[in-house]
């Protein structure tokens, strides 16, 4: 009975991929939004698309990927 509970679902790998991609895209969008804010601290919350927007997305995407990479090494298999 206990062995059946420890078996991995055949969909576990697919679910993990969906979670990782979803987190990476979400963090990337957050980074892009934060980087494209023109001057938020001084009261101007206008968006300005630039290379900083793209770099912010890449940094956010990488942070999301590293988050899951670290978490996956800590999780029991």
pLDDT in tens, 10-30: 788 888 899 999 999 999 999
For residue 64, count other CB atoms closer than 10 A to its CB.
Answer: 21
Strands 44-47 and 37-39: antiparallel
How much is the pLDDT for 1? 44
Q: Are 37 and 45 in contact (CB under 8 A)?
A: yes
pTM listed for this prediction: 0.75
39 found inside a domain: yes
4 found inside a domain: no
Which tens digits make up the pLDDT trace of 28-56?
Answer: 999 999 888 877 677 777 888 889 999 99
Tell me which residue range forms the domain holding 51. 9-74
3 found inside a domain: no
Q: Provide the mean pLDDT of the chain.
A: 85
Based on the structure, what is the number of domains in the chain? Answer: 1
């Amino acid at each position: 009975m206990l062995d059946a509970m420890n078996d991995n679902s055949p969909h576990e790998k697919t679910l993990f991929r969906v979670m990782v991609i979803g987190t990476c895209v979400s963090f990337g969008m957050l980074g892009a939004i934060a980087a494209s804010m023109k001057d938020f601290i001084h009261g101007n919350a206008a968006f300005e698309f630039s290379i900083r927007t793209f770099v912010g997305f890449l940094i956010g995407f990488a942070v999301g990927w590293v988050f899951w990479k670290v978490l996956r090494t800590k999780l029991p298999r």
